[in-house]
């Protein structure tokens, strides 16, 4: 797998949905959930590798996974 200058794996994720809501915070939250989910799939569920690739902490990735399992209404 190719890496960036900082040694992180290159990730290329495409999100093909244009139906994001107009509310900025909700749109940002939905995008982040989708993005983390796609990268997690790319790394076959490896939370540490996903966090490293995204420049996030493992805890942040875990919280995104938890919020995805229990979406806010």
Residue 63 lies in a domain: yes
Which pLDDT tens digit goes with each residue over 35-47?
999 999 999 999 9
Please name the residues in contact with 73: beta carbons below 8 A apart, sequence gap of 6 or more.
none
1 in a structural domain: no
Q: Which domain holds residue 62?
A: 44-73
- Does residue 71 lie within any of the structural domains? yes
Q: Is the pLDDT of residue 73 over 50?
A: no
Q: pLDDT digits over 13-42, tens only?
A: 566 666 655 677 777 888 898 899 999 999
1 vs 12: CA distance, rounded Å: 12
- Measure the CA–CA gap between 72 and 8, rounded to whole angstroms: 32
Q: Tally the domains of the chain.
A: 1
Q: Which of 45, 28, 26, 13 is nearest to 62 (CA)?
A: 45
- 58 inside domain: yes
- 62 assigned to some structural domain: yes
């Amino acid at each position: 797998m190719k890496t960036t200058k900082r040694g992180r794996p290159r990730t290329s994720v495409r999100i093909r949905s244009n139906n994001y809501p107009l509310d900025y915070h909700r749109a940002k939250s939905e995008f982040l959930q989708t993005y983390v989910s796609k990268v997690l799939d790319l790394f076959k569920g490896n939370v540490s590798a996903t966090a490293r690739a995204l420049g996030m902490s493992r805890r942040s990735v875990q919280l995104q996974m938890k919020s995805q399992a229990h979406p806010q209404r």
